[in-house]
Amino acid sequence: MISDPLVLSVVLIGIMFFFLLSSVWIGSALMLTGIVGMLIYEHNLPPAISILQKSGDLLAGSLYDSLNSWSLAALPMFILMGEILYRSSISTRLLNGLMPWLGSIPGKLLHVNVAACSLFAAVSGSSAATTATVGKITLGELKKRGYSKKLALGSLAGSGTLGFLIPPSLIMIIYGVLSDVSIGKLFIAGIFPGLLLASSYSLYIMIVASLDKSVVPSKGERFTFREKIDSIKELVPIFLLIALVLGSIYGGFATPTEAAALGVLGAVILAIYFKSFTYEVFKEALLNAVKTTVMISFIIAGAGFLSQVVGFLGIARAISEYIGELGLSPYVLILVIGIMYVILGMILDGISIVVMTLPIVLPIVTMAGYDPLWFGIFLVFMVELSQITPPVGFSLFVIQSISGEKISYILKATFPFFIIMILIVIVVTAFPEIATYLPEKMVK
């Protein structure tokens, strides 16, 4: 049996990957890993029955502790809001309102993906919902108008990940619950990094369009000033919903959970106003929201149990002490952690990455002097990268289902935006004030 916590951590990682690769549900894989860890720990060997009983008690307690959170109640609300928007005509109106304002800059309507994803991310909180909603609207239109298919796919893949960074964000909610960091502060901290990433995508599109004239049609649509003004009315509903959700949080009128409920109410009212709200729409939105919420909650529960086992066996403390003894500088440490997340992103989805690694990684980075608030934004960037890294890149699968293109072609189209995201991560790491300035000024 194993008594060394460092060796035990390596063994547990191997066991966890075995369960994951054997197609066991992620939540079940995490729970089974924790139970096996209790069994193989040397001091827990005799008797095995009592250890299983202790594991059961620990599992029951962790299930309650992990899911008994008022902040976590915001999760199903934001998911339901995104589902309603996805199935109503509001998303179509968003694109129609943006088109007249983007036709006069290099890249023209290729910026629609970036702008639309940024706006939709501010009301959905889901990367998959953002990518699917915007992609279904824009890809066909851009192809029909003669825009570069490669640049359209790449910009959609990169911009779709903004659903995790621009608040409200499901990943930020989960991180806030697990790390005991203010979700409101996390939302505020994501604003500048999100705008910086979106601006970098648009800048890249402008550079490519200036160097290669073939990526945009030779004859672009021209819009009169009157048409531009008229198009604003299409954007007003989205801006009102953003103001309702984020304004209530930043203005101190509502908690993130209450703001999420307001967002659902606002989405329903807008869908009714535009006569796109039916029983079938609501039924599908509700069922998908329940399925997604249950899936995420099961993963969180499994991760909560595993994190308690990790703490019980002393693994987190041992790893923290070991890394501390290595004498790594803070930048080298965060580089190693970043590389680890990129590798994990190739085989795991973003939510699983957060809940599985946070119990071990957070104590290490805080010991190195990093702000947990800043690390939350760094972690969101890492999750965004996982959305566009093969073979488990959810955004890649979404785009493939929408476009019908081969995954290899989508990967080539996405690679420049993957590099841009890494560069922005470096900038935010070198200048953490980009993430922490607003929360420090706005929330006392």
| Residue range 256-287, pLDDT digits in tens | 778 888 888 998 998 898 888 889 889 988 99
Identify the band that residue 197 occupies on the pLDDT scale cut at 50, 70 and 90. Answer: very high
27, 390, 420, 400: which is closest to 198 by C-alpha?
Answer: 420
What are the two backbone dihedrals, phi and then psi, of residue 41, each rounded to the nearest 5 degrees?
Answer: -70, 130
Tell me the per-residue pLDDT of 206-249, one tens digit each, with 9 for 90 and over.
Answer: 999 888 888 887 765 677 778 888 888 888 888 888 888 878 87
Statement: residue 45 has pLDDT above 50: no
Q: Are 368 and 330 in contact (CB under 8 A)?
A: yes
176, 168, 164: which is closest to 421 by C-alpha?
Answer: 164
Average pLDDT over the chain, rounded to an integer: 79
> pLDDT higher for 146 or 54?
146
Tell me the per-residue pLDDT of 179-190, one tens digit each, with 9 for 90 and over.
Answer: 888 888 898 898
pLDDT value at residue 53 = 57
Tell me the per-residue pLDDT of 384-396, one tens digit each, with 9 for 90 and over.
Answer: 887 787 655 667 8
Statement: residue 366 has pLDDT above 80: yes
Tell me the per-residue pLDDT of 101-118, one tens digit each, with 9 for 90 and over.
Answer: 876 788 877 888 888 788
Identify the band that residue 41 occupies on the pLDDT scale cut at 50, 70 and 90. Answer: low
pLDDT value at residue 56 = 64
pTM of the shown model: 0.72
Q: How far apart are alpha carbons 114 and 399 in whole angstroms? A: 15
Q: How far apart are alpha carbons 385 and 404 in whole angstroms? A: 22
Q: How far apart are alpha carbons 119 and 163 in whole angstroms? A: 9
Q: Are 119 and 113 in contact (CB under 8 A)?
A: no
Q: How far apart are alpha carbons 419 and 178 in whole angstroms? A: 29
267, 219, 218: which is closest to 245 by C-alpha?
Answer: 267
Residues with Cβ within 8 Å of residue 184, at least 6 apart in sequence:
249, 250, 255, 256, 443
Instruction: Report how far Cα 388 is from the mean position of its chain's Cα atoms.
Output: 11
Statement: residue 24 has pLDDT above 90: no
Identify the band that residue 1 occupies on the pLDDT scale cut at 50, 70 and 90. Answer: low
Q: How far apart are alpha carbons 285 and 126 in whole angstroms? A: 14
Statement: residue 199 has pLDDT above 80: yes
Identify the band that residue 200 occupies on the pLDDT scale cut at 50, 70 and 90. Answer: very high
- Residue 193: cis peptide before it, omega within 30 degrees of 0: no
> pLDDT higher for 252 or 54?
252
Structure tokens that stand for 188 in this block: 């505020």
Mean of pLDDT values over 29-53 = 65
Q: How far apart are alpha carbons 168 and 163 in whole angstroms? A: 8
> pLDDT higher for 315 or 262?
262
Q: How many CB atoms lie within 10 A of CB 327?
A: 8
pLDDT value at residue 126 = 67
> pLDDT higher for 363 or 350?
363
> pLDDT higher for 291 or 377?
377
Identify the band that residue 202 occupies on the pLDDT scale cut at 50, 70 and 90. Answer: very high
Structure tokens that stand for 327 in this block: 């004498």
